Structure 1
Amino acid sequence: MTNTWLRCLLSILLGVSLSLATASATRPHIIFILADDLGWDDVGYHGSVMKTPYIDALAAEGVTLENYYMPSLCTPSRSVLLTGRYEIHTGLQHGTILMMQPLCLPLDEITLPQKLKEEGYDTHMVGKWHLGFYRKECLPNNRGFDSFLGFYQAMGDHFYHNISASPGHFNGFDFRRNNDVVADQYAGKYSTHPLFLYLSFQAVHTPLQVPSRYAELYNDLIPNDEDRRIYAGMVTCMDEAVGYVTTVLKQSALWENSVVIFSTVRGGKGTLYEGGVRGVGFVTSPLLHEQVRGTINHELIHISDWFPTLTRLAGGDLMGGGRLDGYNQWETISQGTPSLRTEILLNIDPLYTAVRNLRDDPWAESTCFNVSMRAAIRVGDWKLITGGAGNGSWIPPTESGIAALHPERRNGRSVQLYNVHVDPYERMDYSHERPDIAEELLQRLGHYYRTSVPPNFPQQEVRSADPANYGGVWSPWA
């Protein structure tokens, strides 16, 4: 880690400390760490060969969330985190925001940092935005963050921070401090090293890149898969950065009044099976009740719950915005009380419909929900999936020596029903054996669909968005 990054983090954290001290001595510092594309088995405390000692230690002294869900793609996950609203209610339920798409998180949505600023908080962000940048109004500094150090796009080069819309075409630089391009200062510095209160890591998203010393840690553990070694190195490098966060907090005496949240943005990309929507999450804080420290929480938690949970923890109210889909889960996390939610909508995407022969499908004529649409919901221990759910293969780590399993295509079966408590790998489909439960969950999907807004997914504006128009830098164009 460079001294530049460490000084940046220290100045931010110490500045926040002074600001909060004048506002209220009881309001905690909030550090939200978001890892991108980290899989369920890619942390040491879940039995992985990945070396994550800092993450493991934080999880061990906090509360691990083992029934923690989020959307299956980058943009929807971030939108839900910052608004507390399902993606079906913001129009971001179909895919991620593309590089040249005139689209961003709707400007009338109230964001989490805006709510925290109402309570006197300084709000800062480092890392990946991916909520749209085609207009200046869409940028982090205009959505509630006092400062921003990072990048607007999805998957730029981890070292040099350039990204192309397609190989050899529309290449541009993407790294800024607030609205200013900082090519000279940060080019060549690995993007997982900066640290912050809302620390939205680029790691472990593609492209697979890491300083060689991290990948070399896995030469013996993962001998026959270079990509896997690089990925593992990215995980360990990110873990090291997480360690710097807690070190700075403790050295600056902020720790005793801090809440650290670690969350992944799904592992398996674009699938509604558990590998795509169930993530790694934990909360560590001296403010947790002693009896829950070091425990595993099996209650249902969704990424939308952070908005109301952290707003209320900061002393704010939840009035004045749109209807929230999240719940204040602080008592569930800090005291072990039952979750306030019994169900989680995992998405409804009407732009993705499965083309299948449904002639013999008993659910094809369902009156409560169009089962050709890609959708999923969990209610209690049951999970229902409709339409094309995405890749359902089980892909074990290469170092395990276990062969991948590729289930047969479910032709003529538009509805799948699983008990994910006893069958987390979703091998046993109960849709024919328990039509009563399937019907109940279809009705819930129908309820949510009636509350949804149409997906907003416009065509890309290639000529207007071309970074060549802006000195080779990805920039707002509208």
Structure 2
Amino acid sequence: MVHTVTAISLVSLVTLGYLSWNMVRPLVGDSLSLQHGANATAERDDINTITAIPNSTSYSTSNSCATNTTSTNASSTSCTSTNTSSSYSPSSAGVPARSRGPALANPRSSTPRPHIVFILADDQGYHDVGYHGAEIRTRALDRLSAQGVRLENYYVQPVCTPTRSQLLSGRYQIHTGLQHSIIRPRQPSCLPLHLPTLPERLRDAGYATHMVGKWHLGFCRPECLPTRRGFDSFLGSLAGSGDHFTHEACDGPAACGLDLRVGEHVARAHGGRYSTEMYAARAVRLVEEHDAAHGPLFLYVAFQAVHTPLQAPPRYTERYRRIANQARRRYAGMLSCLDEAVHNITEALHRRGLYNNSVLVYSSDNGGQPLSGGSNWPLRGRKGTYWEGGVRALGFVHSPLLRLKGRVSRALVHVSDWFPTLLALAGAGADTTTADPASPALDGHDVWRALSEGAPSPRTEILHNIDPLYNRARGGSRAAGHGLWNTGVQAALRQGDWKILTGDPGYGDWVPPQTWPAFRGSWWALERAAPAWSSGGGGGVGGGRGGVAEPQTLWLFNLSADPFERYDVSARHPDVVRHLLGRLAEYARGAVPVRFPADDSRAHPALQGGVWGPWLLPRDGGARRRGEGQPGGGSGSGVFSGAGAAAAGGRSLAATAAYCRLCKLRSYLRKLRAGRTAAPSGS
């Protein structure tokens, strides 16, 4: 036992030494030279026809960073970036947009309202960018972030739908009914229709609003589609994942169909086009055809990359032949293609003359999945978990409108903050309250001053989630939660530097880059989280206490002192634990019922002409349709009345959950496939 603990301690010291070097090394130290002219593409009238855009722009960029005193909310690392060579030729391509009136002045300044481009990557891990030490070349992301503001205290949600719903609504999951899992293709559910979305508000303010890429916010009826939720145009997929070339999506082996649409029409003729390149070409075309005289542009590009299946054109994967792990090699190729796509979009802004009055936001939607090539090193956990590796994300803002550029911000920012922040930039105003009692107040904050000027963030707390439907953790109870909270309920909350987790936060290991050549080798075994049994035992390496009793269901971390969540300090700070559990109980009392209906057999693609799309039409009224897409709507559809109160009071969900055994079996099989119910063998 002594030798085992010593070995783990030595590995931890070596690991922390590796981390220290990578955390303090210059964020970008190499000159960049990007020549992407041959790959910059634009769509014409037929999106099958791709014509190369001439682009002779080259960069020679040097960066230097100096770290200042850090704190949770107000700290930065300054980076100076010099672009020594750039030339842009304005494009003559363009068609008039529909009349929207003049681009009124932004009340924050005398400049016109900015063009907004929001780029969302899918499953990109925290480590998977050049400036975090990845072996993957991401020269465009490195350069754009170095010239803007890198967000190093930025949070999203653990999986796709929750992040996207909070981005477009500005509200936590507990206020939309989407607390549990994702919206699956056959579920009669979508982002609640009574909530105004970001594109709806921007369109009302005179913006041209366009979406390209992955929707994943439900499509059971036409009212749920992107073009009915505020976007003037849409090219992309509706479900959560699919083949990057054929665009076929499957919900289980027996339910597969085409998942690609232009507007509300099925795009059958575009098989064989790689999704990242197709989406980038569409985005470039939208930029080049935008007429700024008719109003500003809002472009939301939600790439499917680097989500599984791991597919990329050979010219990208061949760059990484030295990477022995096949999943990592393919992942790297996908990310290089994504990096090039981001470059092409920003070049289009320059050519069209929109760049000088633009704001570009880049974000990942959740942590990476190590079993599918991603890496969140040095953070703990992975996609689908509430450890930092699942919710702390890559993100940056690039804009000439930033007052302080070339720096690293450690202001606390959450994905829900983009809703009020971007609306305020657009001069639209972000109402914090609403006359509709069914629409809760915004949970997001306007963080522009924190990003642009280095001011303290107005955000001091993040509710990562409360999921009363997730399997109760064995050993959890109200008694373990000081009489305030049932610790069997999956929940996570951050307040200041403190982070508390209850229930089952998900698979909680650290996966160093050294594991890639042999994933089940010695590093995997040594970096496994020690079993955290009760008696207040720590959840970090070497934190087990022996004396097997009940599994641990409560953790407390000080993220400023322990950003990698290695040492649980709940036993040392019972007062902090009680306070944060009380906050969880307060949030739960204000939660709407969970909306997670059972699958509807009518959604099967075989009944829809071989495609995924809306299957419930407005004329199909009736009790089953009432309130569909609304928190608490529907009868017998998986809605949990009083779920928030049940979580706070510790009552059993069995009395309120219309949750069939088949649904539980499906959930178990999904977890099994994701590797959550069984650890990899040590062989």
What TM-score, normalized to structure 1? 0.94
Change (3 A) 1:251 1:18: farther
Match of 1:334 in 2: 452
Task: Report whether the alignment pairs 1:270 with 2:384.
Answer: yes
Which of 398, 402, 422 does residue 288 from structure 1 map onto? 402
Which of 481, 489, 492 does residue 373 from structure 1 map onto? 489
Distance apart, 1:367 and its partner CA: 2.4
What is the letter of the counterpart of residue 271 of structure 2? A
Which of 453, 474, 478 does residue 612 from structure 2 map onto? 474
Which of 232, 254, 279 does residue 393 from structure 2 map onto? 279
- Report the Cα distance in structure 1 between the residues aligned to 2:497 and 2:335, rounded to whole angstroms: 31
| Structure 1: tracts of 5 or more residues without a match | none
- Report the Cα distance in structure 2 between the residues aligned to 1:50 and 1:261, rounded to whole angstroms: 21
Task: Report whether the alignment pairs 1:248 with 2:348.
Answer: yes
Match of 1:100 in 2: 186
- Report the Cα distance in structure 1 between the residues aligned to 2:235 and 2:394, rounded to whole angstroms: 25
Which of 554, 560, 582 does residue 415 from structure 1 map onto? 554
Which of 395, 411, 421 does residue 511 from structure 2 map onto? 395
Task: Report whether the alignment pairs 1:354 with 2:472.
Answer: yes
Which of 424, 427, 430 does residue 566 from structure 2 map onto? 427
CA contact (8 A) 1:20 1:27 kept: no
CA contact (8 A) 1:17 1:254 kept: no
CA deviations 1:16-50 (Å, max 9, x no partner) are: 98967833261000000000100000000111111
Task: Report whether the alignment pairs 1:41 with 2:127.
Answer: yes
Distance apart, 1:270 and its partner CA: 1.0
Match of 2:262 in 1: 177
- 1:196-235 aligned at under 5 Å gives the runs 196=283, 197-220=299-322, 222=323, 224-235=324-335
- 1:12-27 aligned at under 5 Å gives the runs 22-24=102-104, 26-27=112-113
Distance apart, 1:356 and its partner CA: 1.8
What secondary structure does 1:403 align onto? helix
- Report the Cα distance in structure 2 between the residues aligned to 1:108 and 1:362, rounded to whole angstroms: 35
Match of 1:192 in 2: 276
- Report the Cα distance in structure 2 between the residues aligned to 1:145 and 1:52, rounded to whole angstroms: 30
- Report the Cα distance in structure 1 between the residues aligned to 2:92 and 2:603, rounded to whole angstroms: 33
Change (3 A) 1:138 1:13: farther
Poorly superposed stretches of 4+, deviation over 3 Å: 1-21, 398-402
- Report the Cα distance in structure 2 between the residues aligned to 1:62 and 1:24, rounded to whole angstroms: 25
| Structure 2: tracts of 5 or more residues without a match | 1-38, 54-90, 106-111, 284-298, 368-381, 534-549, 617-683
Match of 2:669 in 1: none
Match of 1:74 in 2: 160
Distance apart, 1:284 and its partner CA: 0.5
- Report the Cα distance in structure 2 between the residues aligned to 1:251 and 1:227, rounded to whole angstroms: 36
What secondary structure does 2:179 align onto? coil
Q: Which has the larger radius of gyration?
A: 2
- Report the Cα distance in structure 1 between the residues aligned to 2:113 and 2:202, rounded to whole angstroms: 10
CA contact (8 A) 2:101 2:206 kept: no
Match of 1:310 in 2: 422
RMSD: 2.2
Q: Relative to structure 2, which stretch is displaced further, 8-17 or 278-287?
A: 8-17
CA contact (8 A) 1:16 1:121 kept: no
Change (3 A) 1:79 1:362: closer
CA contact (8 A) 1:133 1:475 kept: yes
Match of 1:457 in 2: 596
CA contact (8 A) 2:121 2:364 kept: yes
Which of 497, 500, 517 does residue 384 from structure 1 map onto? 500
Task: Report whether the alignment pairs 1:298 with 2:382.
Answer: no
- Report the Cα distance in structure 1 between the residues aligned to 2:557 and 2:576, rounded to whole angstroms: 10
What is the letter of the counterpart of residue 468 of structure 2? P
What secondary structure does 1:163 align onto? strand
What secondary structure does 1:149 align onto? strand
What is the letter of the counterpart of residue 304 of structure 1? S
Match of 2:539 in 1: none
CA contact (8 A) 1:59 1:282 kept: yes
- Report the Cα distance in structure 2 between the residues aligned to 1:15 and 1:423, rounded to whole angstroms: 53
- Report the Cα distance in structure 1 between the residues aligned to 2:450 and 2:98, rounded to whole angstroms: 30
CA deviations 1:123-166 (Å, max 9, x no partner) are: 00000000000100000000000000001011110011001222
- Report the Cα distance in structure 1 between the residues aligned to 2:224 and 2:516, rounded to whole angstroms: 43
CA contact (8 A) 1:363 1:415 kept: no
Task: Report whether the alignment pairs 1:115 with 2:253.
Answer: no
Which of 461, 485, 495 does residue 343 from structure 1 map onto? 461
Task: Report whether the alignment pairs 1:139 with 2:278.
Answer: no
Change (3 A) 1:107 1:212: same
CA contact (8 A) 1:19 1:121 kept: no
What is the letter of the counterpart of residue 530 of structure 2? E
Task: Report whether the alignment pairs 1:164 with 2:276.
Answer: no
Distance apart, 1:365 and its partner CA: 5.0
What is the letter of the counterpart of residue 317 of structure 1? G
Change (3 A) 1:140 1:16: farther
What is the letter of the counterpart of residue 23 of structure 1? A
Change (3 A) 1:365 1:338: closer
What secondary structure does 1:166 align onto? coil
CA deviations 1:212-234 (Å, max 9, x no partner) are: 111111112x1x21111000111
What TM-score, normalized to structure 2? 0.66
What secondary structure does 2:343 align onto? helix
What secondary structure does 2:43 align onto? helix
Q: Relative to structure 2, which stretch is displaced further, 118-127 or 389-398?
A: 389-398
What secondary structure does 2:595 align onto? coil
Task: Report whether the alignment pairs 1:236 with 2:336.
Answer: yes
CA contact (8 A) 2:361 2:395 kept: yes
Distance apart, 1:399 and its partner CA: 4.6
CA contact (8 A) 2:478 2:484 kept: no
What secondary structure does 1:389 align onto? coil
CA contact (8 A) 1:363 1:414 kept: no
- Report the Cα distance in structure 2 between the residues aligned to 1:15 and 1:298, rounded to whole angstroms: 41
Identity of aligned residues (%): 49
Distance apart, 1:408 and its partner CA: 3.0
What secondary structure does 1:237 align onto? helix
CA contact (8 A) 1:273 1:390 kept: yes
Change (3 A) 1:18 1:466: closer
What is the letter of the counterpart of residue 487 of structure 2? V
Name which structure has the greater RCO, CA cutoff 8 Å, separation 6+.
Answer: 1
- Report the Cα distance in structure 2 between the residues aligned to 1:89 and 1:362, rounded to whole angstroms: 24
Task: Report whether the alignment pairs 1:32 with 2:118.
Answer: yes
Distance apart, 1:323 and its partner CA: 0.4
CA contact (8 A) 2:413 2:457 kept: yes
Change (3 A) 1:198 1:170: same
CA contact (8 A) 1:39 1:279 kept: yes
Distance apart, 1:436 and its partner CA: 1.1
What is the letter of the counterpart of residue 24 of structure 1? L
Match of 2:43 in 1: 5
Aligned residues: 469
